[in-house]
Amino acid sequence: MTARNAFYAQSGGVTAVINATACGLIETARRHPDRIGKVLAGRDGILGALTEDLIDTSLESDADIARLKHTPGGAFGSCRYKLKSLDEHRAQYERLIQVFRAHDIGYFFYNGGNDSMDTAWKVSQLAETMGFPLVCVGIPKTVDNDLAVTDNCPGFGSVAKYVATSMREAGYDVASMARTSTKIFVLEVMGRHAGWITAACGLAAEAEGEPPHILLFPEIPFDPETFLARVQDCVSRYGYCTIAVSEGLHDADGRLIADMGSKDAFGHPQLGGVGQIVAQLIKDRLGYKYHWALADYLQRSARHIASRTDLEQAYAVGVKAVELALAGRNGVMPAIQRLADVPYAWEIAVAELSQVANVEKKMPREFISPDGFHITPACRRYLQPLIEGEAFPPFRSGLPDYVRLQNQPVEKKLEAFSV
């Protein structure tokens, strides 16, 4: 059997540990030179395959590949680009096969979330119908933790650790100042459809009265009056109130709270995220001074406070993806399977891409307290192991020492293709 090349692409929003997956994949591929030639990475994700912008990872040293394990972001570039159905965009799928054929690619690894698993699944079918020998393996990644089948998603545990740490730290700050200054603190976090990241903030509260006091989930329609009553109760009890809110918070009619601001003089939607809208509501109605923070990209790139569990799982799915490919398993995805909560035990199982694609895993209702404002013990049992362990990157000159790869291009062999 001759060695064929592998294609690897990162897709969608990047995470603190997606490069650890790349590291696991490349390091494992390098241990099988008889089966796998070069790992060619797509520059800026699947776009790189379409435009034949391939990166030759074999030119990177073992040491630099190892450094991927502690480097956030997407080392080869990622993209938000969803291939449509085969009917609509057959030319794009055919182009992929054309590029793969030109570069002798026998393995297709696609590292992403829901959309990407859908793409990987389609490619896996196409390869079969087009008679091109290709093994397609999806690799899970998403801070949103909303992929089906897998118990959790690589990338989520580190965001969870970051937001819970940040919430705890800000809580200590606000508690110090509440008597004469800010009584309300709101942290806005990611998760447009699923409240996993918001839920993770709740891990910071280990005892009655500890921050965060209120969580606002996208799964629970926002009712201002119930919310304000809870805020007032908090301030009365503890002297202050800290809140984590999902960017996807909406009302009973499904309208995003973030979109409810008025327009400015130029017709622009009013600036400010849902965090500020909620905080301003408190100020308007209860009169309390507020501060708010918007973690935005900081939360998903915070490699400096990554979860060791998350890191190990991110690396493991990269390793397993290669093993599955070498075993000829087309159309599958390594999935994390939980064996026990305490002590936490997990292994990498195998999921069919057809079962994963386009299914969004929301927070189960039993993970949210009956009043809708916090997490339940069951949720805590689920989340707790995912943030366990530290995995600090090396530091140089006081800052995390992250790698920048050379990312040297593979020579093009085909005509240009416009996407």
Closest CB 409 distance from a copy of itself, rounded Å: 14
Q: Which of residues 4-43 bind a copy of itself (CB under 8 A)?
A: 10, 13-14, 16
The residue (of 22 and 325) whose beta carbon lies closer to a copy of itself is: 22
The residue (of 47 and 153) whose beta carbon lies closer to a copy of itself is: 47
Only segment of 66-74, 115-123, 324-332, 335-343 that touches a copy of itself (CB under 8 A):
66-74
Q: Which of residues 380-409 bind a copy of itself (CB under 8 A)?
A: 384, 387-390, 392, 395, 397-400, 402
Out of 69, 95, 303, 320, name the contact with a copy of itself by CB under 8 A: 303
Burial 299-332 (b: 16+ CB within 10 A, else e): bbbbbbbbbbbbbbbbbbbbbbbbebbbeebbbb
The residues, ordered by sequence, that sit 6+ positions from 277 with a Cβ below 8 Å of its Cβ are 257, 258, 260, 261
Out of 101, 193, 285, 291, name the contact with a copy of itself by CB under 8 A: 291
Q: Which of residues 190-209 bind a copy of itself (CB under 8 A)?
A: 203-204, 206
Out of 300, 320, 329, 374, name the contact with a copy of itself by CB under 8 A: 300
- CA 383 – CA 52 distance, rounded (Å): 40
Out of 64, 89, 261, 338, name the contact with a copy of itself by CB under 8 A: 261
**170 binds a copy of itself, rule: CB under 8 A:** yes
Out of 97, 194, 215, 305, name the contact with a copy of itself by CB under 8 A: 305
The bridge status of strand 395-396 relative to strand 399-400 is antiparallel
**47 binds a copy of itself, rule: CB under 8 A:** yes
**226 binds a copy of itself, rule: CB under 8 A:** no
Binding-site size, a copy of itself (CB under 8 A): 79
Q: Which of residues 67-96 bind a copy of itself (CB under 8 A)?
A: 71-75, 77-81
Which H or E element spans position 296?
Answer: none
53, 144, 146, 151: the active-site residue: 144
Cα-Cα end-to-end distance for the chain: 35
Out of 119, 301, 313, 330, name the contact with a copy of itself by CB under 8 A: 301
- CA 125 – CA 142 distance, rounded (Å): 24
Closest CB 12 distance from a copy of itself, rounded Å: 9
Q: Which of residues 130-169 bind a copy of itself (CB under 8 A)?
A: 161, 164-166, 168-169
Q: Please give the single-letter amino acid code of residue 189.
A: V
Strands (E), 84-162: 105-112, 135-140
**173 binds a copy of itself, rule: CB under 8 A:** yes
The residue (of 166 and 330) whose beta carbon lies closer to a copy of itself is: 166
Q: What is the DSSP string of 170-232?
A: HHHHHHHHTTTS--EEEEEE--SS--HHHHHHGGG--STTPSP-EEE-TTS---HHHHHHHHH
Is 115 annotated as catalytic?
no
- CA 197 – CA 174 distance, rounded (Å): 21
**255 binds a copy of itself, rule: CB under 8 A:** no
DSSP alpha helix (H) spans, 219-356: 224-238, 274-286, 297-301, 308-326, 353-356
Contact assessment for residue 18 and residue 102, using Cβ atoms and an 8 Å cutoff: no
Residues that are catalytic: 144
